[in-house]
Amino acid sequence: MQYYTTESPRISNVPTVRLARSTCRAVVLAAGVLVLALLGQTVVHAADAAGFDKYFGSLKHTTKATGFFRAEEIDGRWWLITPEGHPFFSTGLNVLSFAGTATAGGVQHYEQAARRIYGTPEAWAEKQAERCRAWGWNTVGAWSDWDRFRRRMPYTVLLSVGCHDWRSGPASDLFSDEYRLWVRQRVLDTAAPLKDDPFLLGYFLDNEMKWGPDHRGGHLFDVFFAKPAKTNASKRALVAFLKTRYGTLDALRADFRTQAGSWEKLAEADELPARGTPSSMETRLAWAVEVAERFFSVTNEELRKVDPNHLNLGARFISQTVPGPVIAVASKYVDVMSINFYDLGGLVEIAVRNFSPDYLPVDDMLAEHYKLGRRPILVSEWGYRAADAGLPNSFPPIYPTLPTQAARADAYQRQFRRMLAKPWFVGQHWFLYADQPAEGRFDGEDNNFGLVSEQDQPYKLLVERSAAMIDEIYRRLDPVDGNR
């Protein structure tokens, strides 16, 4: 899933409700604060359930403190470690944003409600930080107003250095010198000012990039081969890759159909159909690996030059549509493997898996992803929607719609417990904080994925469960459990 902008949009020219009298406004604000205070009393304050350091790391265990977040395996279980040296499991919220999610026409219902209740973005952020602590959430996820929370709680930053079109696939010339320069400038602008901030958990490189056949079209091999060689360095790199791999055009023709009489003529073609031989399929997959090597090596090199202190959180793979060798390449460069892991269920899961035989199964809670990557996994997106919220829940149709909020809270807790049962998970980031608009956002999504409604009302059963889960997380540190 994707949000609309690289970072949450700042407030500009958005119509708000204007009250006739300042006294009315004061009454509304006071009432809103009172309601929220009462709501806050209905759930356990998760941050008070055990001892935590100022970054919400558990005081049950102490290890090396480096002044920044890092990852460490403790007694066979992966943990994130706070700057003060304490185990931390990241429970994050995507789109924790004052603006919320705009409709396709630009209307921001959540922002309008937030202005009525809190008055200012700063007051809103202070209250949301309190709510997050009470409800068991300790990290600001992607597409959020992270700059408003920098000293309140750990946060992540989405760099968006894939330079791709989320809806259609690769849009940039990854193998060009210009691409590296663009990444360098992007990192300088975004990461350089943050490199000494201990509250920064780390950086996501991008989100849901295309690594093979999916809803955005065919194989990466075909996408890159269709580019014009005269102006596209990636197409030239692909032809050079084929020349190195096969040596001669006759050898190439055993796997691919082409009438080109020279490598130069081959570069002028815009398609190269495979014969379906095992070796042709291996070649196509090997090109995806080349693309992954280029992307992860360049982005990590440029990021480390500017900020060697914080975690490289990876590229938020779609769990069902990533080839194993791409995971293996990423593991050479990232500290944490971020994976968007939605429960699609039944026939939909099977249909998505059939996009490509190269894709990893998601059985046993991403066991194959971990086996190939050997990096701790952060579930960077997941969520459930329910019918009783009154939203259409019509797009995307691939996600199950549960009947009630009780069923949604049950599904949340059940899936979270499955994550905790595996030693490779170091966090989960829920998509998203506030519901999507009933009218649909820019791409039509209109779902009850929120922790709160667009009127800023919490889904009580869900936040009660999320608060209760904090104790279950850090129980893994208790020696008596024998299951760290």
Give the single-character DSSP code of 311: E
Distance of CA 367 to the CA centre of its chain: 19
What was the pLDDT predicted at 6? 35
% of the chain exceeding 90 in pLDDT: 83
**Which residues have a Cβ under 8 Å from the Cβ of 180 and sit 6 or more positions away?**
298, 302
What was the pLDDT predicted at 5? 41
**Contact call for residues 273 and 256 (beta carbons, < 8 A):** yes
What was the pLDDT predicted at 351? 82
What was the pLDDT predicted at 13? 32
What was the pLDDT predicted at 307? 98
What was the pLDDT predicted at 10? 31
Of the listed ranges 20-29, 78-87, 184-193, 265-274, the least confidently predicted one is 20-29
pLDDT for 17 beyond 50: no
Residue 94 to residue 108: CA distance in whole angstroms: 17
What was the pLDDT predicted at 50? 56
Note the pLDDT tens digit of each residue in 269-286.
999 999 999 999 999 999
What was the pLDDT predicted at 345? 78
What was the pLDDT predicted at 23? 36
Q: What is the mean pLDDT of the chain?
A: 90
What was the pLDDT predicted at 164? 76
Average pLDDT over residues 260-264: 98
Note the pLDDT tens digit of each residue in 54-101.
999 999 999 999 999 999 999 999 999 999 999 999 999 999 999 999
Average pLDDT over residues 309-327: 97
% of the chain exceeding 70 in pLDDT: 87
Q: pLDDT tier at 184 (50, 70, 90 boundaries)?
A: very high
**Which residues have a Cβ under 8 Å from the Cβ of 76 and sit 6 or more positions away?**
423, 484
- CA neighbor of 377 nearest in space, from 164, 77, 129, 143: 77
Give the phi and the psi of residue 466 in degrees, each rounded to 5: -65, -35
The token duo for 327 is 């995971």
Average pLDDT over residues 213-239: 95
Note the pLDDT tens digit of each residue in 384-419.
999 999 999 999 999 999 999 999 999 999 999 999
Note the pLDDT tens digit of each residue in 107-155.
999 999 999 999 999 999 999 999 999 999 999 999 999 999 999 999 9
pLDDT for 378 beyond 80: yes
Q: pLDDT tier at 166 (50, 70, 90 boundaries)?
A: low
**Which tops the pLDDT comparison, 189 or 36?**
189
| Strand duo 77-81 + 70-74: pairing | antiparallel
**Contact call for residues 423 and 374 (beta carbons, < 8 A):** no
**Helix %, strand %, coil % for the chain, to 5?**
40, 15, 45
pLDDT for 475 beyond 60: yes
Note the pLDDT tens digit of each residue in 28-47.
344 444 444 444 443 444 54
* Domains assigned to the chain: 22-217+287-481 (3.20.20.80)
Helix (H, G, I), strand (E, B) or coil at 250: helix
Q: The dihedral of CA 66, 71, 73, 78: what is its sign? A: positive
Residue 385 to residue 392: CA distance in whole angstroms: 10
Q: pLDDT tier at 480 (50, 70, 90 boundaries)?
A: low
pLDDT for 350 beyond 90: no
